[in-house]
Amino acid sequence: MFVAVIVTAIAGRLVVVHTLEARSLAAQAAAQREYTVVLTAKRGSILDRYGRPLAYTDEARALTFLPQAVRTATDAAHRRDPKLPDAAKRFAEIAKGVSSALGGSISEADLLAKLNGPEKFVYLARSVATDVAARIVADFPEVGADPENLRLYPGGTLAANVIGDVNYDGNGLMGLESSMDSVLGGTNGSKTYDRGSDGAIIPGSARNVAPAINGATVRLTLDSDIQWFVQSQVYAAKAASGAKRVAAVVLDARTGEVLAMANDSTFNPSRPLSEQRDANLDNPSVTTPFEPGSVNKVVTAAAALQYGVTTPTATHTVPGSIRMAGVTVKDAWAHGPERFTTTGIFGKSSNVGTLMLARQVGEKRFADLVTAFGLGQRTGVSLPGESPGQVPALSQWSGGSFANLPIGQGLSMTLLQMASVYQTIANDGVRIPPRIIVAETRDGHRESPMPEPDKVTVVSPETARAVRDMFRAVVQDDPTGRQRGTGPQAGVPGYQISGKTGTAQQVDPRCNCYSNSRYNITFAGIAPADNPRYVIGLVLDNPRRSSDGSGGQSAAPLFGTIAGWLLQRARVPYSPPAPRLALEAG
């Protein structure tokens, strides 16, 4: 009787299992067999203007380990066969072997701590070369090697502040890697298949395959060769001048494209950031505005010519000081009334003469031109963290605003904005907002050029050409000193060069007033002036000497070095002889 009851119960249970619970149990079994794997999208490359890689992705491996499972299995095997090592001994062997294979980049002690930890799953190492990972797995089958993408930066520090970096998961961390993460990163796919009890894939079980969509390749306007040279000169200028910071931007005068953007104290994205604690991770050329000083007088010069206030050869009696709206402004050197041409006012960088002309232009027309030059607005260059700078609205000008703004104080701009102002003058009065991205290429598709920015006509071609010619006076030399400009060191033999020096007092945060000991030293210029090819903008943060280590405080030598190299490299023909300019009237 008892046996019959047992048989009946079992039979009943079988009926329930095969009928009422059949679907549920089948679903549970399928779920246990089913496994979905992520198909990782390959991150797109970042190339320079000629297709040379600045960042690209290669295949790598992540070394993985299952501490609990491997410990249990290893100790069980040791109990069955004492000749086999126990977990403690085997883990020590693995730690020593993996550390050695990785060249000691991860210590044996750190690896052993992970192996002996309580976790179910750990990463032993990330971004390991495939051949190295294969050797490790062959020697230590307990170690897993999961496919992983490795981001490589062949230039090291080259344009690192522009390119940026990614984290261990391959996501953009800073720079273009961050701002273009959705474009570069692509979209991961997935695939589902069944596994047997031993974990092996069941043939023919693959389904629900969604292919990964690789990230787009992005081609930049940067020229790797120009970037390398400018970056090396920025480093040298910082060391020679004792400046806190040095930065440089080079634009194509005709298109506004960024050919180089360099600053000191950059970093190497090929190395862990934790090892580069003193590195500058941002991009000051777009993130850090400053008061430009006399470099901004080009706006006043353009306004004075555009509105017919003066001509380049007109003469002016310039006193040693001027009083505007209750504020007295002096020149950098003491003098009585002097006879300067309009060209000489800017060649000698006379604050008084500049404000005399600005007063004739008027506040409204000057403010309109500042806006037309793009100041106080982001350039839209597609770099993260770009600052618009700060230009007070005309309605907010205080009594002393118009005594400061025309000479480059009381407003701030980024180095890229400063270079863009001079690109406008170089391009016959038409501002082309700077850009750094040329095109994108999707996987398997043709290259798609980025839309060109809208052009803005700021001043007439005649005005722009006249300003370019006038500002040759800045680099003009004269043994007597009478017809010498403020930056002859920026000259390049054989070429007409147009530019402007700048010295601006920094704001002392302790008193919220202008410092008498700390300055931004700037230079912006066009090479060559007669047929513009390049625009170069420079800023030195409180240097103790000139950019070449000589006396004084000037960025002009750095401009001359960079401009000379660019013109020779591009084999730009020499400029025709140009007449000497009169700065001081006879």
Which residues does the annotation mark as catalytic?
294
One-letter amino acid identity for 248? A
How big, in percent rounded to 5, are the helix, strand and coil portions of the chain?
A: 35, 25, 40
Instruction: Name 115's Cβ contacts closer than 8 Å, sequence gap at least 6.
Output: 65, 67, 91, 94, 95, 122, 124
First to last CA, the chain: 135
**Which sign does the torsion angle of CA 398, 402, 407, 411 carry?**
positive
Q: State the Cα–Cα distance between residues 468 and 475, nearest whole angstrom.
A: 12
Strand spans (E) along 425-486: 430-431, 437-441, 447-449, 456-457
Instruction: Name 402's Cβ contacts closer than 8 Å, sequence gap at least 6.
Output: 324, 325, 358, 359, 363, 366
583 closest CA partner among 430, 426, 468, 476: 476
CB atoms within 10 A of CB 455: 13
Pairing mode, strands 217-220 and 245-252? unpaired
One-letter amino acid identity for 428? D
Please state whether the peptide bond connecting residue 453 to the residue before it is cis, i.e. omega within 30 degrees of 0. no
Which helix (H) or strand (E) element contains residue 361? helix 351-361
Q: State the Cα–Cα distance between residues 434 and 418, nearest whole angstrom.
A: 11
CB 294 within 8 A of CB 499: no
The DSSP secondary-structure symbol of 579 reads: P
Q: State the Cα–Cα distance between residues 549 and 540, nearest whole angstrom.
A: 13
Judged by DSSP in three states, 236 sits in helix
Q: Both tokens of residue 219?
A: 């081609």
Q: How far is CA 423 from CA 145, 209, 295, 533, in A?
A: 52, 52, 13, 10
Half-sphere exposure of 152 (CA within 13 A, CB side): 13
Half-sphere exposure of 437 (CA within 13 A, CB side): 27
The DSSP secondary-structure symbol of 313 reads: T
Max Cα-Cα span within the chain: 135
Q: State the Cα–Cα distance between residues 492 and 526, nearest whole angstrom.
A: 11
Q: How far is CA 24 from CA 32, 355, 521, 540, in A?
A: 12, 87, 77, 73
